[in-house]
A and B are shown apart, each in its own frame.
Chain A
């Protein structure tokens, strides 16, 4: 075991973890409020990554503006999708799985058709490295961690401290009681999809320059996001944060020191976890939904 790698491994784990947190928290908000497993969530992330390519790389829009644009564009698209496709079948489990999966296929295929199936490279907005603690860190990754923390902070404020956040949580916890208070369940489902997809879009812009951008990016992203919310507890915001960071660190440490077996052990662990604690690691500490 090479101890000198540890700072590097921690930074990597934090970077991966925060990006998982961004993607998974969007998925968990939508799941908690609309009760739909949005299998197309990864495709919204993919669209965010293409925003990075077209706005930032091709059109030269400043990086931070690109993030805002992506949140807006992908979020609005998500709201449209919710209104047209999800609302009519929201109460039914089986159709919601089929429609969400169909949407994932449709968006991935359409992106491949419009943008071309080849991989695209986005140049780093913050090239350069930082030497500290006897290790090298890329500035870009540190910036990603920082921006992700800012976004999650904003989300936390919105959900826990505002009237809108209370209404969202109300719908997640008890739809009937929420509508009796005058909260529009349809409206909140729509907004949750906007927020969730906006987060996916932001994650896409942040990670686009670090990884490669291509239309079939979504499958892996949704898969990781699912693992995160299973780990943390379905529909739980703190769970998504804990699960995301945990997954980031497990992967970072595991791949460095154990190799591929990490993945097998991870799934075996999650299997046992679901058996004995179906609520995930956070157990009953839910914010979004019981």
Chain B
């Protein structure tokens, strides 16, 4: 397994937000985590990247235990997070945001890789010298994904990449995610409220309800599950 969570619990001021969950991501896989607002999806991602220490449980990545590793060292282990709300550096240009994405890298190919990102996301080339805060939501999302990719991660964590995007732009996200997975061989843990979209992309999924996993399995199985259909795919 590339990433493995064992019985993870996370508390906010004594309030248990994640109540002992276990999940895993295999090499080359796309795994989705579904759940309503406040279910604890973001909290799990924050625990993985070290922004919020779990109160108990273990997190393993590439055979190494990482649940006590500081956030700033996680990226060097090969995990990059595209946070909820994108969290670009608002007063830096798009170009600088991409440069800073490669902060942890030591090699000399950074300029080349930025060029490649521009090939991949042509809109970013057009916006390259604009402040990140002046971009539209969709452009920001692409910039955030590109920034994360600049670190050359093995595992990419995406926190609600479609949140707040117009339907037209939202439709582009699946293709982007699949490309990253197939062309770059990056494994992906995708957190979404939009179950239809997530289940189309992922091979497996976990359904989260108030801090516990209520369902898990292959996407085909889940797609035919009555409860999933009723609660998450209705309308």
Contacts and interface: CB of A to CB of B under 8 A. Distances in A.
B92 interface: yes
A138 to B, nearest CB: 40
Contacts of B71: 176, 179-180
A166 interface: yes
A287 interface: yes
A183 B72 contact: yes
Contact of A176 (B75, B87, B100, B103): B87
B83 A166 contact: no
B142 to A, nearest CB: 16
A227 B195 CA distance: 53
Interface in A252-285: none
Nearest to B74: A180
A91 interface: no
A181 interface: yes
Contact of A179 (B72, B80, B90): B72
A170 B72 contact: no
A210 to B, nearest CB: 36
A180 B83 contact: yes
A186 B99 CA distance: 21
B72 A182 contact: yes
Contact of B91 (A173, A176, A177, A185): A173
Interface in A174-224: 174, 176-185
A173 B89 contact: yes
Contacts of A173: 89-92
A185 B147 CA distance: 19
A290 B91 contact: yes
A181 B92 contact: no
Contact of A182 (B87, B90, B104): B104
Contacts of A183: 72, 100, 103
Interface in B150-196: 151
Contacts of B208: none
Given A166-B96, A176-B71, A176-B83, A181 B103 contact: yes
Interface in A18-40: none
Nearest to A180: B81
B128 to A, nearest CB: 15
A182 B51 contact: no
A287 B96 CA distance: 13
A184 B74 CA distance: 11
A289 B90 CA distance: 9
B166 to A, nearest CB: 24
B83 A177 contact: yes
Contacts of A286: 91
A170 B102 CA distance: 13
B88 interface: yes
A240 interface: no
B64 to A, nearest CB: 17
Contacts of A167: 100, 103
B89 A177 contact: yes
B87 A170 contact: no
A251 to B, nearest CB: 31
A290 B90 contact: yes
Contacts of B76: 182
Interface in B52-93: 70-76, 80-81, 83, 87-92
B10 interface: no
B72 A185 contact: yes
A141 interface: no
B203 to A, nearest CB: 26
Given A166-B96, A176-B83, A181 B101 contact: yes
19 contacts: A166-B92, A170-B89, A174-B90, A176-B83, A177-B87, A177-B88, A178-B100, A179-B70, A179-B71, A180-B71, A180-B80, A180-B81, A180-B87, A181-B100, A181-B103, A182-B75, A182-B104, A182-B151, A184-B72
Given A170-B92, A174-B89, A179-B71, 8 more contacts: A167-B103, A176-B83, A176-B87, A178-B100, A179-B70, A181-B104, A182-B72, A182-B151
